[in-house]
Amino acid sequence: MSRRTATLSRNTNETKIQVSISLDGGDISTSDSATASTHAAQNSKSQSIAVNSGIGFLDHMLHALAKHSGWSLSLTCDGDLHIDDHHTAEDCALALGSAFKEALGPIVGYKRFGTGFAPLDEALSRAVVDLSGRPHSVVELGLKREMIGQLSTEMIPHVIASFAQNAGITVHVDCLRGENDHHRAESAFKALALAVKEATTRTGGNEVPSTKGVL
Ligand SMILES: [Mn+2]
């Protein structure tokens, strides 16, 4: 089976983003600015991950999403952080969603639905994903702090929603319990990763997984 990959650039007056993704891991073209980062870079036998958004905690979350989804991912962003974190966080998620959708291709021969539960110490999150072709998200993380590192906590559900928007998928992500906001957020991204990994599993067939016969 061929690997599912995509590479794209997204440039606006607010952010300039490059992203390469392989849903099946393996080698990937990695830009110099991504590898220059020590924020969230990891090379293993099966995955190559380098994320440099300019926001350390966002890098940490996208790294976790990539790692536990089984992706290889290179993402760099030169964003207007002199304003705040909003455009950078949102646009990185939109670009990642677009790359994911392109790599995924038509929703044919996919499991379609996926569920993930991930704890991080006292925190526990649940994610449910449907490769529906209809972007929709419900994200309830119950974060209490204003910021985690340099990322506003209000941007964390917005990142997941923006990813779902451009990925064209339905996601429901809930943090079910937890005291520590870093743990709550990280468990949410890990749960999302597990759900995405399951939903994007290839069945080996070429059927459209829908009663309508089309997605
Ligand atoms: Mn962490």
pTM of the predicted protein model? 0.95
Ligand 1 midpoint to CA 64 (Å): 9
- Supply φ then ψ for residue 35, to 5 degrees: -70, -25
Question: How many distinct structural domains can be found in the chain?
Answer: 1
- Residue 208 lies inside a defined structural domain of this protein: no
For the stretch 62-115, pLDDT in tens is 999 999 999 999 999 999 999 999 999 999 999 999 999 999 999 999 999 999
pLDDT at 207 over 60: yes
Report, as an integer, the average pLDDT of 183-199: 98
Ligand 1 midpoint to CA 185 (Å): 9
- Per the structure, the complete domain to which residue 138 belongs is given by 5-199
At residue 40, the pLDDT reads 79
> CA torsion angle for 165, 171, 172, 177 (degrees, to 10)?
-100
Ligand 1 midpoint to CA 170 (Å): 25
pLDDT at 30 over 90: no
Ligand 1 midpoint to CA 60 (Å): 7
**Per-residue confidence band for 167, with pLDDT thresholds at 50, 70 and 90:** very high
- Residue 213 lies inside a defined structural domain of this protein: no
At residue 42, the pLDDT reads 87
Ligand 1 midpoint to CA 98 (Å): 26
At residue 159, the pLDDT reads 98
* DSSP label at residue 120: E
Mean predicted lDDT score pLDDT of the chain:
95
- Residue 19 lies inside a defined structural domain of this protein: yes
Report, as an integer, the average pLDDT of 171-178: 98
At residue 29, the pLDDT reads 76
Ligand 1 midpoint to CA 150 (Å): 14
Smallest Cα–Cα separation from 159: which of 39, 74, 65? Answer: 65
- Residue 106 lies inside a defined structural domain of this protein: yes
Ligand 1 midpoint to CA 109 (Å): 34
Ligand 1 midpoint to CA 42 (Å): 15
Angle at alpha carbon of residue 60, lines to 55 and 65, rounded to 5°: 125
Ligand 1 midpoint to CA 187 (Å): 9
**Per-residue confidence band for 37, with pLDDT thresholds at 50, 70 and 90:** low
Per cent of the chain over pLDDT 70 is 96
Ligand 1 midpoint to CA 104 (Å): 28
- CATH number of domain containing 97: 3.30.230.40
Nearest-angstrom CA–CA distance, 28 and 123: 33
For the stretch 111-136, pLDDT in tens is 999 999 999 999 999 999 999 999 99
- Residue 36 lies inside a defined structural domain of this protein: yes
- Residue 171 lies inside a defined structural domain of this protein: yes
pLDDT at 168 over 90: yes
Ligand 1 midpoint to CA 75 (Å): 19
**Integer angstrom CA distances of residue 8 from 14, 21, 37, 53, 99:** 17, 9, 20, 15, 7
Ligand 1 midpoint to CA 3 (Å): 29
Ligand 1 midpoint to CA 15 (Å): 25
Ligand 1 midpoint to CA 127 (Å): 18
Ligand 1 midpoint to CA 26 (Å): 24
- Residue 38 lies inside a defined structural domain of this protein: yes
pLDDT at 32 over 80: no
- Residue 21 lies inside a defined structural domain of this protein: yes
